[in-house]
Structure 1
Amino acid sequence: MVTFNQAKTEHDYQIVAKLADIIWREHYIPMVGKAQIDYMLEKFQSAEVIGKQSNQGYEYYLINFNTTPVGYISIKKEDDSLFLSKIYVLSNHRGKKIGKTALQFVEKKAKASRINNITLTVNKNNYNSILVYEKLGFKNIGPAVKDIGNGFIMDDYKMVKML
């Protein structure tokens, strides 16, 4: 059974940061390298930064499978869309429809706020995730390249799903 709990405490933020460290290192080091992942985890996914983001409109949710945290999502309302900033699941829990259930949760959040689309960015080399997003109704609307500092670039696609 998949459940979602909003991360609201320092303890919750530490769980999210620990999940990020495991998932990002495993999944993204082959794509962008260890140095960029070390930088991004510190700059964007430390417990301290997650707490600050939570005070700036980002909502983090732990994804639990049978009461065990196995991933997380982060969303933020932006004008007329809901930005899906993060959606990550531990590799040994993929293929159990947890990600699909998480996206359905995000869609319900958007609809409850009367928002008619969800946007996200995905690394251009993250082929499997791109295919999953397309299968779930997202459309690639073009490149989203961003300098994130320290000589690193996020080379992504922006995707949108109309609700």
Structure 2
Amino acid sequence: MQIIEVKTLEEVQILSNLAQEIWHQHFTSIIGQDQVSYMLKHYQSTEAIWKQIQTGAEYYFLKISQIPVAYICLIADSNKNRMMLSKLYVKDSERGKGLGKSLLQFSETRAIQKNCNDLWLTVNRFNADSIEWYSRQGFVVIDEVKKDIGQGYFMDDYMSRPEIS
């Protein structure tokens, strides 16, 4: 297993293809095919990801035997000393193998490296499996966020962060 930063346009194209596969597998039953297609075009296309990287987002592949099977996106806000785990996605065939946990641990380490003392994320409020998984990893819901993303679509999410003990 390797976690590799996405740096080239060719790697972004591979990432976009992986996103297409994962999103169609996972999100169609949650938000519907039309919204999946819309979000892929506007947030997970080669052009959208490349633009995000150019403005400071960090994307990473998780590869097994040189094949990308998962990815994350991290966005540091150094003014507030916090980092958003913007995306953490694993192919269906690779779930349950600890890859998500490895990516989460990598995210926590990366946050520390960037002098961020807070890691947070949003998860679709109807994505019960992911909400449960994040809860098992120590995340708690701290807010609800409903964001208009255009053409009548919304991101209807819970904002979560690790529980402070």
Deviation, 1:49, is 1.0
Between the aligned partners of 1:32 and 1:119, the Cα distance in structure 2 is: 22
Q: How does 1:22-101 map to 2 (within 5 A)?
A: 22-78=21-77, 79-101=80-102
Partner secondary structure for residue 49 of structure 2? helix
Partner of 1:118: 119
Unaligned runs of 5+ in 1: none
Partner of 1:149: 150
> Counterpart of 1:18 in structure 2: which amino acid?
N
> Counterpart of 2:112 in structure 1: which amino acid?
K
Deviation, 1:66, is 2.6
1:75-126 CA distance string (max 9 Å, x none): 0002221100100010000011000000000011011122111110000011
> Counterpart of 2:34 in structure 1: which amino acid?
A
TM-score scaled by length of structure 2: 0.95
Partner secondary structure for residue 106 of structure 1? helix
Structure 1 runs of 4+ aligned residues shifted over 3 Å read none
Number of residue pairs the alignment of both structures matches: 162
| Pairwise CA RMSD | 1.1
Partner of 2:10: 11
Deviation, 1:52, is 0.5
Q: Which moved more, 1:60-69 or 1:96-105?
A: 60-69
> Counterpart of 2:88 in structure 1: which amino acid?
I
Unaligned runs of 5+ in 2: none
1:15-74 CA distance string (max 9 Å, x none): 110011001011101011110011000001111111100011100001112321101100
Question: Share of identical aligned residues, percent?
Answer: 40
TM-score scaled by length of structure 1: 0.96
